[in-house]
Copies of this chain bind each other. A is one copy, B any other.
Amino acid sequence: MKKYTIKDIAQLAGVSKGTVDRVLHKRGKVSEIALEKVTKILNEIEYKPNPIAKNLKINKIYKLAVILPDAQKDSYWEPCSGAIKEVENEFQHFGIEINKFVFDASETSSFLETSLNVITTKPDAILMVPLFQKEAKEIVTKCNINNIKVSVFNNYIDSNYSNNFIGQDLYQSGRVAAKLMDMVLKKGTIGIVHIDEDYQNATHLQEKEKGFRSYFNSLNTLDYDITTIHLNYKKSESFNNSLLSFLDKNPNINGIFVTISKSYVVVEALKERASDIAIVGYDLVKKNIDYLKQGEIDFLIHQKPKQQVYMGLSYLAEYFLFDKEIPSQLLLPLDIVTSENVDGYLM
Contact = CB atoms under 8 A, between A and B. Distances in A.
Interface string A148-184: 0000000000000000000001001001101110011
A341 B93 contact: no
Contact of A335 (B3, B50, B53, B333): B333
A55 interface: yes
A290 to B, nearest CB: 17
Contact of A341 (B55, B336, B343): B336
A186 to B, nearest CB: 9
Q: How many copies does the complex hold?
A: 2
A332 to B, nearest CB: 7
A84 to B, nearest CB: 16
A48 B331 CA distance: 36
Interface string A311-347: 0000000000000000000011111111111011100
A77 interface: no
Contacts of A183: 183-184, 298, 338
A274 interface: no
A145 interface: no
A50 B93 contact: yes
A215 interface: yes
Given A52-B52, A56-B56, A344-B331, A338 B180 contact: yes
Contacts of A111: none
A3 to B, nearest CB: 8
**Most B CB atoms within 10 A — which of A3, A175, A180, A333?**
A333
Contacts of A180: 338
Nearest to A92: B3
Given A50-B93, A331-B344, A176 B338 contact: yes
A53 B56 contact: yes
A51 interface: yes
Contacts of A52: 52, 55-56, 93-94
A338 B184 CA distance: 13
Contacts of A345: 333
Interface of A: 3, 48, 50-53, 55-56, 92-94, 169, 172, 175-176, 178-180, 183-184, 215, 298, 331-341, 343-345
Question: What 4 pairs across the A-B complex have the smallest Cβ distances?
Answer: A333-B344, A336-B336, A334-B341, A179-B340
